[in-house]
């Protein structure tokens, strides 16, 4: 991706979206967004719980400490190890793929995809906190740890997209021009991931909204408008 292409992407997708469990915002505000691996390290999780958390999670796993607060490692209901075994390339195994997922923080570039996820059978009956993030500011601060994906890497579905060693690519190596020919604006990158964690996330936040399905229930945080 060239600098001009990155500028185009940020114009088309000025807001990133992260879906968190209800009640997550206070801990995120205090610790930033942590990858699964970073959260397990921060909370000093025992080996038995850690092993379960690093595999596919059919349900969310709660991490809680009096001095750190409470965090929920999200379930991975849209992901199937059986389907991964069919669609993985480059001699990767499902365990390899989970390691790749667990080392990242994930953001959507499309509000439409967030709404589709919220409307799905697994999540539509529950409230979630949606973090809306200033894309340009986050990219400027963490560019060296950002990798992009052209697919939903954490879902398989009936017809899982092939995935492998080159699914996550640094910004400079991402084939944006190729996807521009195939997809409309807003869909040329599906996921923006940050390796490790995003500390001090609050400085990039535009809004934090509690949502149930497509309905906004409550605004938990909102950045002050910038001066003209």
Question: pTM of the predicted model, to two decimals?
Answer: 0.93
- Whether residue 211 contacts residue 195, with contact meaning beta carbons closer than 8 Å, is answered with no
pLDDT tens track for 98-130: 999 999 999 999 999 999 888 877 677 788 999
Residue 226: predicted pLDDT: 61
pLDDT tens track for 125-151: 788 999 999 999 999 999 999 999 999
Helix (H) or strand (E) holding 69: strand 69-73
Q: What is the pLDDT of the chain when averaged over all its residues? A: 93
Q: How many beta carbons lie within 10 A of that of residue 51, not counting itself? A: 10
pLDDT tens track for 25-84: 998 998 899 999 999 999 999 998 899 999 999 998 999 888 888 888 988 988 999 999
With a CB cutoff of 8 Å and minimum separation 6, the contacts of 145 are 194, 195, 196
- Whether residue 24 contacts residue 31, with contact meaning beta carbons closer than 8 Å, is answered with no
Inform me whether the pLDDT recorded for 153 exceeds 90.
yes
Inform me whether the pLDDT recorded for 196 exceeds 90.
yes
5-18 residues labelled b (16+ CB within 10 A) or e (exposed): bbebbbebbebbbb
């Amino acid at each position: 991706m060239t600098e001009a292409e990155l500028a185009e992407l940020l114009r088309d997708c000025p807001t990133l979206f992260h879906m968190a469990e209800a009640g997550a915002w206070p801990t995120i505000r205090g610790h930033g967004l942590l990858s699964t691996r970073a959260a397990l390290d921060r909370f000093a999780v025992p080996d038995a719980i850690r092993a379960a958390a690093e595999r596919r999670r059919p349900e969310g796993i709660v991490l809680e400490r009096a001095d750190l607060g409470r965090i929920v490692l999200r379930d991975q209901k849209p992901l199937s190890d059986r389907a991964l075994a069919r669609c993985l390339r480059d001699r990767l195994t499902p365990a390899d793929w989970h390691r790749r997922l667990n080392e990242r923080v994930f953001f959507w570039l499309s509000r439409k995809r967030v709404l589709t996820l919220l409307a799905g059978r697994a999540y539509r009956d529950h409230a979630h906190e949606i973090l809306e993030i200033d894309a340009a500011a986050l990219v400027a601060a963490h560019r060296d740890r950002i990798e992009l994906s052209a697919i939903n890497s954490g879902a398989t579905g009936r017809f899982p997209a092939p995935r492998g060693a080159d699914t996550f690519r640094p910004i400079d190596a991402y084939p944006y021009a190729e996807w521009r020919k195939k997809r409309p604006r807003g869909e040329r990158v599906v996921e923006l991931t940050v390796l490790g964690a995003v500390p001090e996330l609050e400085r990039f936040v535009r809004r934090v909204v509690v949502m149930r399905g497509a309905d906004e229930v409550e605004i938990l945080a909102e950045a002050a408008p910038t001066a003209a």
